Amino acid sequence: MARIDGLYELGHVLDVLDADTHGFTGADLHRVEAFWTFSEMDSSSAGFVVVLRDGRRAYIDFLHWHGFEQDEDFRIATELLPRGEPLPRRGGPAPWPPGEWSSAPAHLDRMLASRSA
């Protein structure tokens, strides 16, 4: 069975990333190291640790609200990661990330490769 987890969220990210706002574009993404996803009835969220074509690593945080009969809205935040830093962690009372990290992103890498072909 083909994996689809993260494809929806990564698709939004690729379309919206802007060098002026986020520091790099979707075309700069080389591969995904790890990711997590989490969905509820009216929202979905995901995080991606990516390697950029120039060798830098970045974390992309995505949150999408899609409430019933309401306008959609989403937020994308990025941060560059130091080389060799483990997966990002956040503090606070809520568990983070809300979904488990996956280090099997081959299906997401295929999506990236198909966009650059």
Chain segment 55-76, per-residue pLDDT in tens? 999 999 998 887 666 667 888 9
Query: What region, left, alpha or beta, does residue 92 occupy, with left being phi > 0 and alpha being psi -120 to 50 degrees?
Result: left
Helices 106-116 + 7-16 axis angle, to 10: 40
Per-residue pLDDT, 50: 95
With H, G, I as helix, E, B as strand and everything else as coil, classify residue 49.
strand
Per-residue pLDDT, 109: 94
- pLDDT tens-digit profile of 12-57? 999 999 999 999 999 999 999 999 999 887 888 899 999 999 999 9
Instruction: Choose among 98, 92, 110: nearest CA to 47.
Output: 98
Instruction: Choose among 5, 6, 114: nearest CA to 60.
Output: 6
Phi (first) and psi of residue 77, to 5 degrees: -125, 145
Per-residue pLDDT, 20: 95
